[in-house]
Amino acid sequence: MAQICTLSDIEEIERVLLVERQLPESTYATIRQSALTSPDRPALVFFPDGEHYRESIQVTYSQLLGRIHQVANMLFELGVGPNDVVSLLLPNLPQTHFALWGAEAAGIVNPVNPLLEAGQIAAILRAARTKVLIALGPLPGSDIWEKVVRIRPQVPSLSTVIQVLGTAGPENEWVHFETQLEHYPADRLLSGRSIASDDLAAYFHTGGTTGSPKLARHTHANEVFDAWAITQVGDTRPEHVVLCGLSLFHVNAVHVTGLAPLSVGASVVLLSPAGYRDPGVIKHFWKSRTLSCHLVQRSPYALFQPAARSHRCRYSFAHNGNLWSRPYADRGVHRLRAAHRCEHSGGVRFDGSDLREQHESALWRAACGVHRAALSVPGHENRGHRPARSLSARLSAR
């Protein structure tokens, strides 16, 4: 896909009905398609912490698909079906991606912010009617497991807790993720499930800044379309490296820097379990970005989102060691200090803090002549987010 710069570019896209594009039916089919096309290409590159950015763990597309199969198969044996919910309390780990897409292949995934208070987490799990919880085990510096122990009796629907990392506990109390996965085949779904595009894929909760967190429903069609639209707007290609520093309980990290690049065979770099909250990530950001390009088959491209709390921020596109950026008004969720941004002039990559806000702010940017904009396809309804008119219709009305 060429760069989207003008109204005519958007109109050209909107001439083709979404049904004619023959997008995959599910997130599982999307990732499977990439794995069959580029099995040996790195899907995930994980830096265990920001200070040791030269040490990384790589997961190929073939390995990612295998882990997704194993997670889905484990959940299937635990009784998870298409209408059952699997909640996650995990930092940014390769295992988080295994659990996200494996849970969507088996049932409905519900990523939860582990920084919330235990009472808020328990309320979300009760509202979702969580059947299985996958959570980080007892590790130094993390209180996630303490919250799990506290909330387990408060969620009547919860039948199984799966522990990721940490010392394995008694099997009758917890299921140890890494140990149990090896018991399941990595080459197929034991359930034989045929996932329909209108099947529910996920429950994402809101931030809770305007009241108690609420659950937004995503179908597989929602998430597949969002991934496709993001790759069209961003001209994402298999040779791109996408840096993920936002938290994987949020739609932005999961889709903009997750499913979207994975849908085209690009590589996702997880910048430590804490992402941008890791001081080492900020300190060594440019070094880790450059190293990421070389780790992934010496790709010259690195895309990232240094989102800021301020409404005035910069998003950037790095190529061959050079960085271009342009200021504009947008929303964000984390701060990347200005001292760590290189400032030049030229093009820009950008997105917002959630998919509804991304669409709204993109409309504003396009109307003001900023280079790239989000798009919508007539007839597509994204349940769980505010309906929006197509960009071409919005601009024509001005």
> What per-residue confidence (pLDDT) applies to 25?
96
Whether pTM > 0.85 for this model: the answer is no
**How would DSSP label each residue in 318-358?**
EETTEEEEEEEE---SS---GGG-----S------SSHHHH
CA distances 382 to 5, 376, 379, Å, are 24, 10, 10
Residue 30: count other Cβ atoms within 10 Å of its Cβ: 23
Contact 47, 272 (CB under 8 A): yes
Contacts of 368 (CB under 8 A, 6+ apart): 328
> What per-residue confidence (pLDDT) applies to 309?
38
Contact 170, 155 (CB under 8 A): no
> What per-residue confidence (pLDDT) applies to 232?
87
Q: Which residues pair with 242 in a beta bridge?
A: 268, 303
> What per-residue confidence (pLDDT) applies to 375?
36
Cα–Cα distance measured from residue 168 to residue 138, given in angstroms and rounded to the nearest whole number: 9
Nearest to 70 by CA among 134, 11, 7, 136: 134
Q: Can you read off the two tokens belonging to residue 225? A: 């379309």
> What per-residue confidence (pLDDT) applies to 26?
98
Averaged pLDDT in 10-residue chunks for the chain of 398 residues: 75 87 96 97 88 81 98 98 98 97 98 95 97 95 94 96 83 83 97 96 87 90 94 86 89 94 94 78 66 55 47 37 36 37 35 43 39 37 39 39
Contact 226, 201 (CB under 8 A): no
Q: Which residues pair with 209 in a beta bridge?
A: none
> What per-residue confidence (pLDDT) applies to 165?
93
The alpha carbon dihedral of 113, 106, 271, 225 has a sign of: negative
> What per-residue confidence (pLDDT) applies to 293?
59
**Pairing outcome for strands 322-329 and 108-111:** unpaired
> What per-residue confidence (pLDDT) applies to 108?
98
Q: Can you read off the two tokens belonging to residue 395? A: 């601009």
